[in-house]
Structure 1
Amino acid sequence: MRAEAGERIVIRGMTVETPDRHGEIVEVRGENGAPPYLVRFDDGHETLVYPGADATVEHPQ
Protein backbone atom coordinates (compact mmCIF):
# COMPACT_ATOMS: atom_id res chain seq x y z
CA MET A 1 0.00 0.00 0.00
CA ARG A 2 1.27 3.46 -0.90
CA ALA A 3 -0.21 6.83 0.07
CA GLU A 4 0.54 10.53 0.36
CA ALA A 5 -0.49 13.08 2.96
CA GLY A 6 -3.88 14.54 2.11
CA GLU A 7 -5.30 11.35 0.62
CA ARG A 8 -8.29 9.61 2.19
CA ILE A 9 -8.27 6.17 3.79
CA VAL A 10 -11.27 3.89 4.34
CA ILE A 11 -11.15 1.04 6.83
CA ARG A 12 -14.03 -1.37 6.30
CA GLY A 13 -16.04 -2.60 9.28
CA MET A 14 -15.29 -6.22 10.12
CA THR A 15 -18.91 -7.09 10.92
CA VAL A 16 -22.32 -5.96 9.72
CA GLU A 17 -22.80 -3.89 12.89
CA THR A 18 -19.42 -2.11 12.59
CA PRO A 19 -19.46 0.96 10.32
CA ASP A 20 -16.64 1.85 7.95
CA ARG A 21 -14.14 4.43 9.22
CA HIS A 22 -13.09 7.28 6.95
CA GLY A 23 -10.18 9.63 7.51
CA GLU A 24 -7.48 11.83 6.03
CA ILE A 25 -3.85 10.77 5.99
CA VAL A 26 -2.08 13.60 7.81
CA GLU A 27 1.44 12.18 7.70
CA VAL A 28 3.21 9.26 6.06
CA ARG A 29 5.87 7.86 8.39
CA GLY A 30 7.11 4.96 6.25
CA GLU A 31 9.53 5.18 3.35
CA ASN A 32 8.25 5.93 -0.17
CA GLY A 33 4.60 6.22 0.89
CA ALA A 34 4.52 3.04 2.94
CA PRO A 35 2.75 2.70 6.31
CA PRO A 36 2.43 3.62 9.10
CA TYR A 37 0.17 6.62 8.53
CA LEU A 38 -0.98 9.26 10.97
CA VAL A 39 -4.71 9.48 10.24
CA ARG A 40 -7.31 12.04 11.35
CA PHE A 41 -10.65 10.28 11.22
CA ASP A 42 -13.85 12.15 10.39
CA ASP A 43 -14.86 12.09 14.07
CA GLY A 44 -11.70 14.12 14.90
CA HIS A 45 -9.75 11.22 16.43
CA GLU A 46 -6.09 10.94 15.34
CA THR A 47 -4.09 7.73 15.51
CA LEU A 48 -1.20 5.89 13.92
CA VAL A 49 -2.52 3.30 11.45
CA TYR A 50 -0.84 0.20 10.08
CA PRO A 51 -3.51 -0.67 7.49
CA GLY A 52 -4.48 -4.26 6.84
CA ALA A 53 -6.42 -5.96 4.06
CA ASP A 54 -9.60 -4.19 5.18
CA ALA A 55 -8.19 -0.73 4.27
CA THR A 56 -8.09 1.15 0.96
CA VAL A 57 -6.55 4.48 0.04
CA GLU A 58 -8.60 6.83 -2.14
CA HIS A 59 -6.18 8.47 -4.56
CA PRO A 60 -7.33 11.75 -6.15
CA GLN A 61 -8.47 11.52 -9.76
Structure 2
Amino acid sequence: MTDEPDPRHHTRKMKARLEETIRHLREDIDKVEEPQLKAMFETSAEVLGGLTKAFDHYEQKSESAWRS
Protein backbone atom coordinates (compact mmCIF):
# COMPACT_ATOMS: atom_id res chain seq x y z
CA MET A 1 0.00 0.00 0.00
CA THR A 2 1.24 3.48 -0.78
CA ASP A 3 0.87 6.74 1.07
CA GLU A 4 1.16 8.70 -2.19
CA PRO A 5 -0.50 12.08 -1.62
CA ASP A 6 -1.00 12.94 -5.31
CA PRO A 7 -4.65 12.12 -6.14
CA ARG A 8 -3.70 11.44 -9.78
CA HIS A 9 -1.67 8.45 -8.63
CA HIS A 10 -4.83 6.94 -7.18
CA THR A 11 -7.15 7.91 -10.02
CA ARG A 12 -4.78 6.41 -12.58
CA LYS A 13 -4.63 3.15 -10.65
CA MET A 14 -8.42 3.00 -10.43
CA LYS A 15 -8.80 3.80 -14.13
CA ALA A 16 -6.39 0.99 -15.00
CA ARG A 17 -8.44 -1.47 -12.93
CA LEU A 18 -11.68 -0.28 -14.52
CA GLU A 19 -10.20 -0.54 -18.02
CA GLU A 20 -9.01 -4.08 -17.29
CA THR A 21 -12.51 -5.04 -16.18
CA ILE A 22 -14.03 -3.38 -19.26
CA ARG A 23 -11.71 -5.40 -21.53
CA HIS A 24 -12.57 -8.61 -19.69
CA LEU A 25 -16.32 -7.96 -19.96
CA ARG A 26 -16.10 -7.24 -23.68
CA GLU A 27 -13.94 -10.31 -24.33
CA ASP A 28 -16.43 -12.51 -22.50
CA ILE A 29 -19.36 -11.25 -24.58
CA ASP A 30 -18.19 -13.57 -27.37
CA LYS A 31 -17.72 -16.47 -24.95
CA VAL A 32 -21.28 -16.69 -23.65
CA GLU A 33 -24.42 -17.73 -25.50
CA GLU A 34 -27.20 -16.15 -23.46
CA PRO A 35 -28.34 -12.84 -25.02
CA GLN A 36 -29.30 -11.37 -21.64
CA LEU A 37 -25.83 -12.04 -20.23
CA LYS A 38 -24.22 -10.55 -23.33
CA ALA A 39 -26.35 -7.44 -22.82
CA MET A 40 -25.46 -7.28 -19.12
CA PHE A 41 -21.75 -7.53 -19.92
CA GLU A 42 -21.99 -4.77 -22.55
CA THR A 43 -24.05 -2.54 -20.25
CA SER A 44 -21.58 -3.09 -17.43
CA ALA A 45 -18.68 -2.18 -19.72
CA GLU A 46 -20.47 1.02 -20.75
CA VAL A 47 -21.18 2.01 -17.14
CA LEU A 48 -17.56 1.40 -16.13
CA GLY A 49 -16.47 3.42 -19.16
CA GLY A 50 -18.53 6.30 -17.78
CA LEU A 51 -16.71 6.01 -14.46
CA THR A 52 -13.40 6.04 -16.29
CA LYS A 53 -14.45 9.29 -17.99
CA ALA A 54 -15.42 10.73 -14.61
CA PHE A 55 -11.91 10.01 -13.33
CA ASP A 56 -10.52 11.74 -16.45
CA HIS A 57 -12.68 14.79 -15.77
CA TYR A 58 -11.52 14.85 -12.16
CA GLU A 59 -7.86 14.72 -13.22
CA GLN A 60 -8.37 17.47 -15.81
CA LYS A 61 -10.66 19.50 -13.55
CA SER A 62 -12.87 19.85 -16.62
CA GLU A 63 -16.10 19.80 -14.61
CA SER A 64 -17.05 22.55 -12.19
CA ALA A 65 -17.67 19.99 -9.43
CA TRP A 66 -13.97 19.03 -9.49
CA ARG A 67 -12.61 22.56 -9.24
CA SER A 68 -11.57 24.03 -5.92
**Do they fold alike, i.e. is TM over 0.5?**
no
Q: TM-score, normalised by structure 1?
A: 0.24
TM-score for the superposition, normalised by structure 2: 0.23
Bigger relative contact order, structure 1 or 2, given CA contacts below 8 A and separation 6+?
1
Higher helix share: 2
